[in-house]
Amino acid sequence: MKRPIAALPFARLRAQSWRLGLGALLVALVAAGAGAAKAPRAPRQDRYGGVRPRAGRATGYFRLVRRGSRWLFLSPEGDPFWLRSVYAVNWGDGGPVAHAMLARKYGGRPRRFARHAAERLLAWGFNSLGEYSSVYTLPLPTYFHPHGNSVRLPFIRLLNISWYGAIDQGHLAPAPFKTLLAGAVDPKYYSGWAGNVPDVFDPNFAIYARNAAADRATSSNQTIFTARSTHGGLPQPSLVHTPWLIGTTPDDADNLFGFGPGPRMPGPDGVVHPNIAWIIAVTKPLQHRNTQVGAAFGDRHTEAYPDPTVYAKRAWARFLRREYHTIAALNAAWGSNYTTFGSDGAWPNGRGLLDESGRHRWMGREVNGRLSGASPRLHADLNRFLGVYADRYFRIVSQAIRAATPHQLVFSPAELDSHGGLTRRPILMAAAKYCDAIQVDADPRHPAPLVQTWAWTHRPMFTWIAEVANPDSAMHRFHASFTPWLHTQAQRGAAYAREVHWLYAFSVDGVHPFVGLDWWEYMDKWGERANWGLVTPRDNAYDGREDRIARGRDRWGVPYGGESRNYGDFLTAAVAANQRINRQLARLMRGATGKRSRGAARRRPGRSGKAARP
C-alpha cells in the first residue's frame, strides 16, 4: 500500500496519563489469578474473527447492524465482530534497526515478516489490519505478493484521496486539484496552520477519487489488487466479491484540514480548525502554480495547474448569487460594498466578491480557528456553504468507493472530532448521510463531543488509540516531548485495557455506538522516536519476554531478544482486554439467542402434549 512520508502529525496526540486506574487493576487481577484459576475458555470464532454464536445471516461481506442496544460489525458469516485493528503493519517505520532486522531475522523477505506479524496479531487478540498496513501483509493477491498473505486477516483500505490527488500521485487525473489554504491565502489575514484543504469542486477531485477507488493502473501507478485484473476498474474486479475487505477509509484527516474541532467544543488542547467556507471566501480565485503544497507537514511540493480556475471559490459565488440574486442585496445583508459577484480588478485588492482576501472588516478576523467581528448573516452563510462543501466531499468519495466496492463498507476520514473536540455540525451531518461508520478521536476524559456526535449522526463509531512509554522501550534514549507519556510498559498495558473497557461500555441514550478501535501502530516509529508499537524496531514483542537482552525463539520458531536492555510487559494486559471483549460478545449473543429461544418456546404449539393446529 502506498505510504506517505508524514505519518502521524500532532493532530492525533492527546494526554495519556489519566488511564492508569482501572487498567492497572485489570493487570493486577490478571497477574494474581494467573496461577490460581483456569483461564476462561475462549469463545469460538469464524475464519474472519467473528465470535460465535451467530448474530445474523451470512452475507459474504462485513456489515454493520444494531442488536438490541449495541451496534456491531457482523462478519461475512454473520457473527459479531468488535474491531481491533492495527495501523501500519509493516517493518519500515522501525528505521535502520528494522531494516537490519528484516535481513537478519527474515532473510530480507517481507513476506516472512508479514506472515509472522499476522500470526502474532491473531494470538494477541487483534482481528484486522488497519490503514497504512503494507501491501505484503494483505490477505489477497497483490502486485507484490501474488498469493497474498497465507495468514489472513480482514483489512481496512485507505485511499488518501485529498493528499495524493493534490499532488496527483500516480497520475490518476489529468492534473492535480488545487489546495485552498497552503500558498493560496493572504498571510496578513490568515496566519494559522496551513493544512491541506482540497478543492472538492475541481473536476479533477472527482476523477482522482474514482480512479483511486478503482485501483487504476497508469504509466506511473500499479494496480494493488491483482487477483482478477492488473488494471483495476469499476467495480474493482479483485475486490468486488472479496469477504476480507471490511471497508474503505477515503482520507487521513491529518491531510484534510478543517474537518477537526470547531469553536463549539474545542479539544482539551484548545485547537480549533477554521471554517472551510471562510477559507474559500478569502482564497485566490485563480492558481497557476502553488509552491507550498504539503509544506505544513514537511512534504512540500510545487504544483502547476493547466486550468487555473479555483472552482470552490466559483461555487461560493454561485451559492451567494442564488441566495441573494443581486449584489446589492448581498451588500445590504453583510454591510459590504462589492461591485459584482465576479471579479472587479484582481485578487487581493479588487472590488468584486471573487477578489475578497479577508482584508475587509465585514469578513471578520480569523484567529486560531475562531472568527470574530463578522455579522450573524455572514456566519450563517458560511455555515450553510460549509454544508454544501461537506456534502460534495462525502458524496464524491462515497460514490467512488461504492462504485469500486459496492458490497463493502464506507468509513469517514480517520478521524473526525480530532483533538478530542467536536467537528462542526455540517461536516458531521454530511458524514452521517454518506458513511456507514464514523471514525472519531474518543477522549474518555471529555465525552461530551462524542455524545453530541451521536445526537447529530446516529451512526456507529470507531476510534484510534495509542499509548507511549518511551522510558521502558527501545526508544528510551529519546524524550517524546510532543505528548505526555507513561513510564512503563505495564502502565501502557493498563491504559490500553482501561480504554478498551470504556469504549465497549460507553453508551448514549441507552445505545452503545462504538464498534471497535484502530491501534496506532504495529512497530515503534523511528521517524518520531516514539514507542507507539506492539513490537520494537528489532521486532520483539513488548511482552516482557521477547523484549529482553537474552535471546530465544518464540512459539513459531522465530528468534527474539538482543535488545540493549530489558523492557516491560505491555501485551499481557492488552491480550486480556481483547479476550474479554470476545467473551462479552459471546455472552451478549447467547443471551439474545436464549431470549429468542424462550420466546419461541412459549409460542410453539404442541408443547403441552396437545396436537398442534394446522
**614: preceding bond cis by omega (within 30 degrees):** no
What would the pLDDT profile of 352-392 be if each residue is shown by its tens digit? 999 999 999 999 999 999 999 999 999 999 999 999 999 99
* pLDDT at position 391: 98
* Burial class, 373, CB count within 10 angstroms (exposed 0-12 / middle 13-18 / buried 19+): exposed
* pLDDT at position 14: 36
d(CA 2, CA 172): 14
* Burial class, 478, CB count within 10 angstroms (exposed 0-12 / middle 13-18 / buried 19+): middle
Mark the ranges of the chain whose per-residue pLDDT is less than 70.
1-39, 481-484, 593-614
Q: Please name the residues in contact with 504: beta carbons below 8 A apart, sequence gap of 6 or more.
A: 82, 512, 514, 581, 584
Give, in order, the Cα–Cα distances in Å from 535 to each of 91, 114, 454, 577. 10, 13, 35, 18
* pLDDT at position 480: 74
Which helix (H) or strand (E) is 156 found in, with range? strand 155-158
CA-wise closest residue to 85 among 541, 357, 478, 465 = 465
The torsion angle over the Cα atoms of residues 555, 556, 558 and 563, rounded to 10 degrees, is -30
What would the pLDDT profile of 581-596 be if each residue is shown by its tens digit? 999 999 999 987 655 4
What would the pLDDT profile of 111-160 be if each residue is shown by its tens digit? 999 999 999 999 999 999 999 999 999 999 999 999 999 999 999 999 99
DSSP 494: H
d(CA 327, CA 344): 13
* pLDDT at position 359: 97
Contact 472, 568 (CB under 8 A): yes
d(CA 347, CA 185): 10
CA-wise closest residue to 314 among 343, 274, 349 = 343
DSSP 295-352: GGGT--EEEE-SS-B-HHHHHHHHHHHHHHSSHHHHHHHHT---S-SS-SS-TTT-SS
* pLDDT at position 592: 73
CA-wise closest residue to 486 among 10, 8, 21, 97 = 21
* pLDDT at position 100: 98
* pLDDT at position 593: 62
* pLDDT at position 99: 98
* pLDDT at position 591: 86
Contact 474, 567 (CB under 8 A): yes
Query: What is this structure's pTM?
Result: 0.91
* Burial class, 241, CB count within 10 angstroms (exposed 0-12 / middle 13-18 / buried 19+): middle
Q: Angle 417-419-420 (CA atoms, 0-180°, nearest 5)?
A: 60
Domain positions in the chain: 9-35+53-124+466-598
User: Which amino acid, residue 264?
Assistant: R
Give, in order, the Cα–Cα distances in Å from 48 to each of 27, 75, 135, 286. 28, 6, 19, 50
DSSP 414: B
Where helices occur in 477-570 by DSSP H, the ranges are 489-505
CB count in 10 Å sphere of residue 249? 29
* pLDDT at position 201: 98
**131: preceding bond cis by omega (within 30 degrees):** no
* pLDDT at position 340: 98
Q: Please name the residues in contact with 255: beta carbons below 8 A apart, sequence gap of 6 or more.
A: 4, 160, 162, 163, 195, 196, 297
DSSP 203-259: HHHHHHHHHHHHT--BTTB--SB-SS-SS--SS-TTTTT-SSEEEEE--BGGGSTTS
Residue 519 main-chain phi, psi, to 5 deg: -85, 130
* pLDDT at position 17: 36
* pLDDT at position 39: 63
